[in-house]
Amino acid sequence: MKTVLYLARHGQTQWNKLQRFQGQLDSDLTPLGKLQSEQLALQLIDKKIDLIVASTLGRAVDSAVICQQTLNIPIYQVTELTERNLGAWQGKEITEIKHDENYYELLHQFTELAPKSGESAIKCGKRISNALEALAVNHPNKRLLVIFHGEALRCFLARLGNTVNGNAYELYKNGCVLPLTYSHADNSFKHNLVADT
């Protein structure tokens, strides 16, 4: 018995375009972001998706609603799939903080270090893993489209052992999708390390 999860990053937002950190703050999808969400749905139209699952942040929900128009299936929102809390960095442009001595460790590595008032990569990865496992356990032999966030995806995959170097913005483009299989026999995730765009 298995559950297939198609992990996707939401479409481009206004703050993505400005290279401004969102974290658990939010901004609207751009016209390109809406198009990316449409293309995501078209890419998965033959995969027989049973349910769309979205983070409760507006950009993920908006992307899910656009996908729903093509896939014609229900949307279920999960708070635990929200983006990593980047604390004091949220709302700031990359140019403002990329010279911070902790920038590389916080956004390229998988450690216990957290931004001020924020969440560590390890803590975020565990939160996402628990949420995805709960979804899989509750939807055996189903196919789920899970729309959430780039940094949360990076942290989750790092927890699974993916040590590809780079930050989420370089590794996981808006609208990308990565197939993930949950095996109920041994309670484990199996995935491809390369995201499709």
One-letter amino acid of 43: Q
Q: Give me the catalytic one of 10, 108, 139, 191.
A: 10
Q: Is the dihedral of CA 158, 160, 161, 164 positive or negative?
A: negative
Q: Give me the catalytic one of 80, 83, 99, 133.
A: 83
Residue 18 buriedness (CB in 10 A; 0-12 / 13-18 / 19+)? exposed
User: What are φ and ψ of residue 6, in 5° steps?
Assistant: -100, 105
Known catalytic residue at 105: no
Centre a 10 Å sphere on the Cβ of residue 143 and count the other Cβ atoms it contains: 18
Q: Which two tokens stand for residue 196?
A: 């499709």
Which residues, including other chains, have CB under 8 Å from residue 195's CB and lie 6 or more apart?
9, 171, 172, 173, 176, 177, 178
Known catalytic residue at 10: yes
- Catalytically active residues are 10, 83
